[in-house]
Amino acid sequence: MTKSHRPVTQPPPHNAAPSLTRNPFLRATLSMGALLAAFALATLTLCMLTAWLTRPLIEKNQQQALVQTLSQVFPHDKFDNDLMASTVVIAGEPLGYKKEITAYIPKLQNRATGLIFTIATHEGYGGTINLLIGTDRQGTLTGVRVLPPHPETPGLGDKIETKKSDWILGFTGRSLQNTPTKKWAVKKDGGTFDSFTGATITPRAVVSSVHQALVFFNEQGRELVRTNNP
Amino acid sequence: MTQSSDTSGEHPSIAFSDTPSPPSPYRKAALNGLWKNNAALVQLLGLCPLLAVSNSTVNALGLGLATLFVLVVSNTIVSLVRHQVQSAIRLPVFVMVIAAATTCIELVMQAVTFQLYEVLGIFIPLIVTNCAVLGRADAFACKNPVGLSAWDGAVTGFGFCWVLLLVGMIRELLGQGTLCANMQLLLPFWPESAHFSFGPNYRQFLLAALPPGAFITVGVLVALKAGIDRWLTQHANCKKTPIVAGSKRVRVTGQIT
C-alpha cells in the first residue's frame, strides 16, 4: 500500500485576527478604505468651513432678495415697516400649497395697509407657477409678480416675467369690484386679459390664479389684516 | 584678451540652429487646451452646461469662470496627492476633490454674486458632472507635477470658457437681440447701460434661444474650427516643401522602392 500524498493540514489557529492582517490583499483593501475615508473627511471639512464662512453673507443676500421682491408688489409710499418682522402664518391649502405659508402685512405708521401673500397654480403649461400677490385693504391688487423659478416655455409662456413683457403689470389696480367674474379670463375665453401668441395655457393659468387670490382675500384676507392690526 | 571657454555647458545667447527647440510643456499644454484638444470643440466634453447655459454672455462667462476655477483647484489638489492615492481608488478620490471644489465655488457665488447664482441655478453644482474636469484630473493631473497640472487646468478652463463665451454671445445676439446685457450681475463695475441692443422691436430668433439652436451653433463652430485647421495645415505644408524647378523624371523600370 502506497502512502497517499495528501497534504497534511493543520487546524486553523484559535485567534484568526493575526492571519487576516497578514493577508496582503485584505491589508491593501483596508489601507485604501482608510485613505478614502481620510479624503472624505478632508473634503467634508473644507466644505463645512466654506459654508460657515459664507453663511452670514448668504443669509443677508436671501433676505435682500426677498425684500426686493416683496416691495415690487406694494407701493413704497404705502408702507414703512420692516416686512420681514410683520409676518403671519396662514394655511396654505386654499392657495395651492400643502403646508402653511408666510404672508406679510405692510403697515404705514403702524396701521396695516394691505396684505402680501403667495399663491400657486398647478395649471401652468410646464407645471406649478408661484405668484406673489399684493392687495390693499379693499381688495384691489397693488401688484402681481411671478416668483422664480417658473416652468413656462422660454419665448412663449415666459412673457409672464417682467423682464420679457409688461403683461403682468396689467393686473395692478384690478379688483373683484371693477372686473366682474366673467371678465377674469383671457380674451379667447371671453375675458379682458390678453393671451400670448402661441401660448394660451400660461396666461390662462395666471389669470385664474390671480382671481382665486382675490377671492381668498375677500373670504379670509380681510379678516386676517383686521386681526393683525395692533 | 582671454578667450573664455564655454565650460558651463550653457549655450551662448545667440544660437544658430536649424531645428527649433522643443516647445516647453507649458506652451504645449496651452496650445492643446486652447485649440488642438479644446474641451468643447474637440473633445466635446461638458456639453450639458455648454448648451444649457450659453444663452447669454453673462451666463456663459459666469459658468465658464466657475468651471475654470474648479479645473485649476481640482488639478492642483489631484497633482499634490498623486503619489499618495493608489490607482484602484483614484477615481472616487478625484470625484470627491472635484465635488468639494464645486461646493466651495457654489457657496462663494451664493455669497458674492447672488443674482447670477440664482440665474445659473442648478448648473453650478453640475460642474461636478462636467467630464472635462474629471478627464483632466485622470489624464493629466495625476501624472504631472503641481505647477504644470495647475497650468493645464487653467488653459483647459480658458479653452472651455472662450467657446462658451462665443456661443453665449451668438445666442444672445440672435435670440434676445442684445449683447452683454446684465453683465453687472457678474462684474459689479460694469455699468448697466453698457450693452448693445437691437432695440425693443427686435423679433427674437427663438431657435437660437432654445437648446437645439445651441447644438446647431456648436456644430457650426466645430466645422469652422476643422476648416481653419485644414487651412493652417495646407498653409504649413506649402511652406515646408520647397518647389524645385527642373525636370522630374519618374522611374518606371527596375526596382521601385
- Average pLDDT of span B112-123: 83
Which of the residues in chain A have pLDDT under 50?
1
Q: Which residues of A touch B206 (CB under 8 A)?
A: 155
Residue of chain A minimizing CA distance to B121: A149
**Rounded to whole angstroms, how far apart are CA atoms B180 and B169?**
8
In the block, cell 468639494 appears at B100
What is the separation of C-alpha B28 from the centre of its chain, rounded to a whole number of angstroms? 13
Residue B6: per-residue pLDDT? 45
- Dig out the grid coordinates for A56 from the structure: 452670514
- Dig out the grid coordinates for A26 from the structure: 485584505
Residue B9: per-residue pLDDT? 47
Residue B5: per-residue pLDDT? 47
**Rounded to whole angstroms, how far apart are CA atoms A106 and A120?**
21
Beta bridge partners of A135: A115, A141
Q: Are residues A44 and A132 in the same domain?
A: no
Q: Are residues A121 and A153 in the same domain?
A: yes
Q: Are residues A53 and A129 in the same domain?
A: no
Domain positions in chain B: 25-225
Residues 6+ apart with CB under 8 A from B138: B90, B91, B94
- Closest by CA position to B101, among listed B142, B137, B48, B61: B137
In the predicted model, is pLDDT for residue B106 greater than 80? Answer: yes
Residue A206 phi, psi dihedral angles, 5° rounding: -70, -45
Residue A8 lies in a domain: no
Residue B16: per-residue pLDDT? 55
**Inter-residue contact B141 to B149 (CB < 8 Å):** yes
Q: Which residues of A touch B87 (CB under 8 A)?
A: none
In the predicted model, is pLDDT for residue B3 greater than 50? Answer: no
> Which of B89, B124, B185 is the mutation pick for testing A, counting most A CBs within 10 A?
B89
Residue A25: per-residue pLDDT? 87
pLDDT tens-digit readout, B17-68: 555 677 788 999 999 989 999 988 998 888 888 888 888 898 899 999 999 9
Q: How confident is the model at residue B85 (pLDDT cuts 50, 70, 90)?
A: confident
Residue A1 lies in a domain: no
Q: How confident is the model at residue B134 (pLDDT cuts 50, 70, 90)?
A: very high
Q: Are residues A95 and A186 in the same domain?
A: yes
Q: Which residues of B lie closer than 8 Å to A, measured between beta carbons?
A: 84-86, 88-89, 92-93, 96-97, 99-100, 103-104, 107-108, 110-112, 114-115, 118, 121, 204, 206, 209-210
Q: Nearest-CA distance from B87 to chain A in Å?
A: 10
Range of lowest pLDDT (B109-118, B172-181, B224-233, B238-247): B238-247
- Give the nearest partner residue to B111 out of A28, A39, A61, using CB atoms: A61
> Which of B96, B185, B202 is the mutation pick for testing A, counting most A CBs within 10 A?
B96
Residue A44: per-residue pLDDT? 95
**Rounded to whole angstroms, how far apart are CA atoms B178 and B176?**
6
> Which of A29, A30, A39 is the mutation pick for testing B, counting most B CBs within 10 A?
A39
Q: How confident is the model at residue B152 (pLDDT cuts 50, 70, 90)?
A: very high
Q: Are residues A89 and A164 in the same domain?
A: yes
Number of separate domains in chain A: 2
Q: Which of B80-89, B100-109, B125-134 is the most confident on average?
A: B100-109
Q: Are residues A36 and A113 in the same domain?
A: no
**Rounded to whole angstroms, how far apart are CA atoms A59 and A95?**
27
pLDDT tens-digit readout, B168-192: 999 999 988 888 888 887 887 888 7
In the predicted model, is pLDDT for residue B89 greater than 70? Answer: yes
- Average pLDDT of span B154-179: 92
Which residue range forms the structural domain that includes residue A53? 23-60
Q: Are residues A31 and A56 in the same domain?
A: yes
Q: Are residues A107 and A173 in the same domain?
A: yes
Residue B65: per-residue pLDDT? 92
Residue A92: per-residue pLDDT? 87
Last residue of a domain, one of A36, A60, A84: A60
- Give the nearest partner residue to A148 out of B84, B103, B118, using CB atoms: B118
Q: How confident is the model at residue B230 (pLDDT cuts 50, 70, 90)?
A: very high
- Average pLDDT of span B153-174: 93
Residue A191 lies in a domain: yes
